[in-house]
C-alpha cells in the first residue's frame, strides 16, 4: 500500500472513532 492510501485509511478510521465517541458521549449524558 502507498503512504497516501494509509493516510486515507487512518483519516477514515479517526473520523469513525470520533463519530462513535460523540455518539457514546451523547447517550451517556442523556441517561442522568
H or E element at residue 29: helix 3-30
| The pLDDT of residue 7 | 98
> In this predicted model, what pLDDT tens digit does every residue of 1-32 receive, in sequence order?
799 999 999 999 999 999 999 999 999 998 76
C-alpha–C-alpha distance, residues 10 and 19, integer Å? 14
User: Residue 24: what pLDDT?
Assistant: 96
Rounded to an integer, what distance in angstroms lies between the CA atom of residue 7 and that of residue 27? 30
Q: How high is the pLDDT of residue 32?
A: 67
Q: In the prediction, which pLDDT does 4 show? A: 98
Amino acid at each position: 500500500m502507498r503512504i497516501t492510501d494509509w493516510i486515507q485509511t487512518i483519516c477514515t478510521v479517526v473520523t469513525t472513532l470520533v463519530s462513535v465517541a460523540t455518539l457514546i458521549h451523547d447517550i451517556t449524558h442523556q441517561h442522568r
